[in-house]
């Protein structure tokens, strides 16, 4: 298997920070809103934004659903604390269960997982409207090229700072930006059902 070339994490981070600062300035809005899942991608996106515009201009939302792991919320809180971000928890279990029952989707984990991803983005864009913010995306280049995302769910955002960054390089950025070690080390997951991991669904792990 061909290996990706190494990355200058410092230079990459500085470039993305300049990009995020300019995007916010050009928008005329006041801040970024980001969904903190407890995973490395959202942690890196949040860290880049905090470094670019200041932690006080980045609002983090934790968006647990009925199948979310308690560890995910714990890790999201750890990331927010490490970055100095305000964190709001928005519990999506009740609306998710109600909509799934209405549509008969609860027993189909793919349908329910996609529904959860889209509900999270509904919550993010709604909160962004109330605080005058851009929604900060967390999808990386590896996921995008593999089609490993939910259309109008995690693939929807105002800005995708990691959209041209391979997952392998996301890990390098995470270490550079001071993301907690436990978040960097844990298996990547969309947290859409118990025990779900990226590697389990894709059939391979990121290099």
The pLDDT of residue 186 is: 87
Average pLDDT value for the chain: 92
Residue 52 has pLDDT above 70, yes or no: yes
* Burial annotation 62-84 (CB, 10 A radius, 16+ → b, else e): bbbbebbbeebbebbbbbbebbe
Rounded mean pLDDT of 147-154? 90
The pLDDT of residue 4 is: 58
Compute the distance between CA of residue 157 and CA of residue 130 in angstroms, rounded to an integer.
16
Residue 203 has pLDDT above 70, yes or no: no
* Burial annotation 5-36 (CB, 10 A radius, 16+ → b, else e): eebebeebbeebbeebbebbeeeebebbbbbb
The pLDDT of residue 79 is: 98
Which domains, and CATH codes, for the chain?
9-187 (3.40.50.620)
Compute the distance between CA of residue 132 and CA of residue 36 in angstroms, rounded to an integer.
19
The pLDDT of residue 6 is: 80
pTM of the model: 0.91
The pLDDT of residue 1 is: 38
Which residue's entry shows tokens 């981070």? 13
């Amino acid at each position: 298997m061909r290996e990706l070339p190494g990355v200058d994490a410092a230079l990459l981070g500085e470039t993305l920070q300049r990009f995020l600062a300019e995007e916010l300035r050009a928008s005329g809005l006041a801040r970024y809103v980001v969904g903190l899942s407890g995973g490395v991608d959202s942690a890196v996106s949040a860290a880049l934004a905090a470094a670019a515009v200041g932690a006080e201009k980045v609002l983090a939302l934790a968006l647990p659903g009925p199948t979310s792991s308690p560890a995910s919320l714990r890790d999201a809180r750890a990331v927010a604390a490490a970055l100095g971000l305000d964190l709001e928890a928005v519990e999506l279990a009740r609306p998710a269960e109600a909509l799934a029952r209405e549509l008969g989707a609860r027993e189909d984990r793919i349908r329910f997982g996609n529904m959860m991803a889209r509900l999270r983005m509904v919550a993010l864009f709604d909160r962004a409207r109330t605080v005058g913010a851009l929604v900060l995306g967390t999808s990386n280049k590896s996921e995008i090229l593999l089609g490993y995302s939910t259309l109008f769910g995690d693939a929807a955002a105002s800005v995708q700072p990691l959209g041209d960054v391979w997952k392998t390089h996301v890990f390098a950025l995470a270490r550079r930006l001071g993301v907690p070690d436990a978040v960097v080390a844990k298996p990547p997951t969309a947290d859409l059902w118990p025990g779900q991991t990226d590697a389990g669904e894709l059939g391979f792990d990121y290099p």
